[in-house]
Structure 1
Amino acid sequence: MRRIIAVDLDGTLLSSKNTITEYTKEIIQLLAKKNIFFILASGRHHVDIIEIRDILKIRSFIIASNGAKIYDLDNQLIFSDCLDKEIASQLCKIKYLEKDIITQVYKKNRWFVNNNKVNNKFCSALSSLQYEYFTPDKFAFDNICKIFFTSNNFEKLYILEKKIIDIWGEKVNISFSVPGCLEVVSGKTSKGHGVRLISHLLGIPLDSCIAFGDGMNDLDMLTISGQAYIMKNADSCLKNALPNIEIIDSNNNNGVAKRLDEIFIKHKKI
């Protein structure tokens, strides 16, 4: 039977040191040679996800920027939905002068940050892209697929989340990938939407999809999949939101690979 495996990256497939173990590579490569399709689903820019896919040495679908960009097995863009230009403009300005919050923008193949010091753990160490500075008065707000706000002051991000919801409601999709990273994309996009699209494209029902995640931006992807697993290290908000979904071993202990090994190899389902 054909299956889909949709897996988040940071905090799920990747270790906290931003690496993939040889055991994980071995299991994924073995399954990818069978009648199984992989989806790498992440808030990351698609340039970063392609590099991770190449480390795995597999063909896969890519859901990038929390669903704003979706690519097929041949790296062809099959879905794109950027933020409304006026909304993007206001979001880029809303906390531009806030010293405790860094405003970050994905625009086409480029990554921009505001002029605050890039001094928290949610920035350049996690990306192969080189960030550039932007100033609102000299910036074009078209073709922006994701805006995200990072801070070590979680309370300020929670307040900002409420403000954004109050202003734009369902026009945006807003979620925390981790407690210190608040991500905003178009209201029409999400990881779950991407999984639905790929499921329809392949003609494989969602009941045959297995999903793994650790953050609130994984919630709808986990909810719609026939089998779903939450990482031991996941955000407590995700665990509380989906109390009936099984929790597996952590990202630092090969949680995804262990469960896939158990499902498909030890039980000889491939």
Structure 2
Amino acid sequence: MNSYKKMIFIDLDGTLLNSRSAVSKTNKKIIKKLIALNYAVIIATGRNYHEAAKLTKDIEGLAYITTNGSHIVDFDQSEIFNKPLNKKILISVINNLEQYQNLIYYITSPDEIIAKNKYKIFKNILFMEGFGKLFSLDGIIRLINNYKLISVTEKDDIINFLDQREMKVQKIYVMGREEELKKAKKNICQNFNGRIKVATSGNHNLEINAAEISKGHALKFLSKKWGIPLEETIAFGDGNNDLELLETAGTAVAMENTDSKELLKRADLIAPNNDHDGVAKMLIKLIPEDLL
């Protein structure tokens, strides 16, 4: 059993990361100080481990909940939980998605992203960001940073690839227009009810994991593993894939920049936005005895 003072769970995009997909100096400073003072700081993200570790490479001593809770890595970077999608279900879901010509999808493992066409992914990011927002300086830098960060392997026939190789796929990430995504979500939920978990981190995506996978379940898993009561946990998030995380944590913090009304309803506190060191500022308020 560990003797951590508290567990602090922090989402990446829209929360710890600013609009340039970077961790600010202030956020880094506060998190490093907490780690040095024996607080357990855990990144909780929909991204895979490879991406999450790259984005936070300047901060030593983090644990990671990745791909929405299907993969957990301890502070020494050893794997302590891995729940991939069942292969038959995975292939069936992909076949289901293939009927939607305007949707783009890719599959992820802890270290890989497999897609039919990586350029279509970034074309879709252009659409999702909105051209006015994207072609600000921050938008351009964010797109470039994401392009450098995401290492995509292209496969024309993903199902054939999966048949030939054992790959622990934690998540299917689907992008497209909101209306078509709603149709796809309804169809998938009806056909695979209880066998998969469908979440979203924005209006233009779906994130499909194994059943009973969520950041909230991962929080409970670590709470039990490390012997830290839920009351001694703090969670930060901005998207709908953070709903169960905030619902489970002792103290739930939503970011000011969230578009999720549901998240705001479940939050105990609202932190300043992700471009103004919201995570660091709220942590100083919550733990003044160690941070002031």
Under a length normalisation based on structure 1, what TM-score does the superposition of the two structures give? 0.91
Instruction: Choose between structure 1 and 2: higher helix proportion.
Output: 2
The CA deviation at 1:44 is 0.4
| Closer/same/farther in 2, CA of residues 247 and 91 from structure 1, 3 Å limit | same
Shift of 1:63: 0.5
Relative to 1, partners in 2 of residues 1:170 and 1:198: Cα closer, same or farther, differing over 3 Å?
A: same
Inter-partner Cα distance in structure 1 for 2:124 and 2:244:
28
Q: Please say if residues 96 and 102 of structure 1, whose CA atoms lie closer than 8 Å, have aligned partners that are also in contact.
A: no
Q: Is the 8 A contact 2:19 2:274 kept in 1?
A: yes
Would the aligned equivalents of 2:242 and 2:263 in 1 still touch at CA under 8 Å? no
Task: State how far apart, in whole Å, the 1-side matches of 2:178 and 2:218 are.
Answer: 28
| Structure 1 residue 254 corresponds to structure 2 residue 277 | yes
- Cα distance in 1 for residues equivalent to 2:151 and 2:52: 15
Given the two structures, how large is their TM-score scaled by the length of structure 2? 0.84
* 1:97 to partner: Cα distance: 5.6
Q: Distance in 2 between matches of 1:136 and 1:50?
A: 26
Paired residues in the alignment total 266
C-alpha separation in 2, matches of 1:212 and 1:82: 25
Alignment pair present for 1:148 and 2:173: yes
Aligned-pair CA distance for 1:237: 4.0
Conservation of the 8 A alpha-carbon contact between 1:96 and 1:114: no
Q: Tell me how far 1:162 sits from its aligned partner.
A: 1.4
Aligned AA for 1:145? Q
Give the match for residue 106 of structure 2.
104
Aligned-residue CA RMSD (Å)? 2.2
1:107–1:264 distance in 2 versus 1, CA, 3 Å: closer
Pairing 1:164–2:188 present: yes
Q: Distance in 1 between matches of 2:192 and 2:61?
A: 37
1:139 maps to a residue whose letter is: F
Q: Provide closer, same or farther for how the CA distance between residues 52 and 117 of structure 1 changes in structure 2, counting only shifts above 3 A.
A: closer
Asked if structure 2 preserves the Cα contact closer than 8 Å seen for 1:81 and 1:188, the reply is no
Deviations 1:18-74 (A, max 9, x none): 01111111111111111210110101010111123322x221211011111111111
Amino acid at match of 1:44: R
Instruction: Name 1:183's counterpart in structure 2.
Output: 207
Provide the residue aligned with 1:195 in structure 2: 219
Change (3 A) 1:244 1:72: closer
Q: Is the counterpart of residue 31 in structure 1 residue 34 in structure 2?
A: yes
Partner in structure 1 of residue 124 of structure 2:
120
Deviation at 1:218, TM superposition (A): 0.7
Match of 2:64 in 1: 62
Question: Aligned equivalents of 1:108 and 1:203: distance in 2?
Answer: 26
